[in-house]
Amino acid sequence: MLVPYHVPQAALQTILGSLGGALGVAVRVGGVLGGELSRLARSAFVSGMDLGLATGACVALAGCLIALIALPSRAPDDGKDDLQRKGRWA
């Protein structure tokens, strides 16, 4: 972790702003600290991506279930056959 190190405010905002910013700071810092920052930034990105994809999948599944439950399985039968509905028979 980067806790025991003093990080300038501008660098901290860049690191927390995006994965690209964090990797850019990691390249500038270099060494063990840069490598650790790079590893942590990638890990945090993948963790956030996993959470976002799982949330999206749950929302899509919920939408499918609501559609299956709420929508009728067939059109209501009002006594007319298909040919009458299409206007071929009066």
User: 82 lies in a domain?
Assistant: no
Beta strands in 1-90 (DSSP E): none
Of the listed ranges 14-23, 54-63, 74-83, the least confidently predicted one is 74-83
User: 75 lies in a domain?
Assistant: no
Of the listed ranges 5-19, 43-57, 75-89, the least confidently predicted one is 75-89
User: 48 lies in a domain?
Assistant: yes
pTM over 0.85: no
Number of domains in the chain: 1
User: 4 lies in a domain?
Assistant: no
User: 54 lies in a domain?
Assistant: yes
User: 15 lies in a domain?
Assistant: yes
Burial (CB < 10 A; 0-12, 13-18, 19+), residue 66, is exposed
- Identify the domain containing residue 51 by its residue range: 9-70
Tell me if 41 sits within 8 A of 26, measured CB to CB: yes
Query: Number of helices (H) and strands (E), helices first, in the chain?
Result: 4, 0
pLDDT of 76: 66
User: 77 lies in a domain?
Assistant: no
> With bands split at pLDDT 50, 70 and 90, how would you rate the model's confidence at 25?
very high
